[in-house]
Chain A
Amino acid sequence: MAASVDPLVVGRVIGDVLDMFIPTANMSVYFGPKHITNGCEIKPSAAVNPPRVIISGNSNELYTLVMTDPDAPSPSEPNMREWVHWIVVDIPGGTNPSKGKEILQYMEPRPPVGIHRYIFVLFRQNSPVGMMVQQPPSRANFSTRMFAGHLDLGLPVATVYFNAQKEPASRRR
Chain B
Amino acid sequence: MAKPTSPIFFFLLVILSSTLLSVKPNTTIIETTCKTTSYYALCVSALKSDPRSPTADTKGLAAIMVGVGVKNATATATYITGNLTSAANDTVLKKVLKDCSEKYTLAADSLRLTIQDLDDEAYDYAYMHVLAAEDYPNVCRNIFRRAKGLVYPAEIRRREVSLRRICGVVSGILDRLAE
Contacts and interface: CB of A to CB of B under 8 A. Distances in A.
B178 interface: yes
The range of chain A's interface size is: 20 to 34
A112 B123 contact: yes
Interface stretch (B68-76, B131-139, B151-159): B131-139
Interface residues of B, number: 17
| Residue picked from B124, B131, B135, B175, most chain A C-beta under 10 Å | B124
A55 to B, nearest CB: 22
A140 B124 CA distance: 13
A105 B132 CA distance: 13
Given A73-B127, A73-B128, A140-B132, A112 B139 contact: no
Nearest to A114: B124
Interface in B90-130: 106, 123-125, 127-128
A74 B106 contact: no
A107 interface: yes
Interface in B136-179: 138-139, 142, 174-175, 178
B136 to A, nearest CB: 9
Contacts of B135: 107, 139
Given A73-B128, A74-B124, A138 B138 contact: no
Per DSSP, are chain B's interface residues mostly helix, strand or loop, or mixed? Answer: helix
Contacts of A80: 125, 128
Q: Chain A CB within 10 Å — which of B106, B123, B128, B139 has the most?
A: B128
Nearest to A72: B128
B24 to A, nearest CB: 26
- Interface-centre pick from B123, B135, B174 (highest chain A CB count, 10 A): B135
A33 interface: no
A139 B132 contact: yes
B40 to A, nearest CB: 15
Contacts of B131: 107, 110
